[in-house]
Amino acid sequence: MDDARHPECDCLEWLETLSEYLDGDVGEDLLHRIDAHIAECPRCAWAVATLRETIEACRHAPRPSLEPSELRRVVERAREELHRQGVL
């Protein structure tokens, strides 16, 4: 890849809007600019493809279910750990 054609700052600009881009939440002008960038930048094309695959995998993954008592226990353990770490 020719890094002169794809300065890192341009890639970071696109990566910041990647979720919105994949959700269709960007304007038409930005959509076309991102499409053009992705067509020429292997790193960003890879990032888009990888995120699309991840989103699809998550959509089709089985959702775990917890009994209310299990959920309370998990939340309590998380709170204890956050307190222990000084976050809460």
CA–CA separation, 12 vs 4, rounded Å?
A: 15
Radius of gyration of the chain from its Cα atoms, rounded to whole angstroms: 20
**Number of Cβ within a 10 Å radius of residue 34:** 20
What is the per-residue pLDDT across 16-72, written as a single tens digit (0 to 9) for each? 788 899 989 999 999 999 999 899 989 889 989 999 999 999 888 888 788 889 989
Residue 2 has pLDDT above 60, yes or no: no
The interaxial angle of helices 28-40 and 8-16, nearest 10 deg, is: 130
CA–CA separation, 20 vs 11, rounded Å?
A: 15
CA–CA separation, 38 vs 56, rounded Å?
A: 20
Residue, of 72 and 12, whose pLDDT is higher: 72
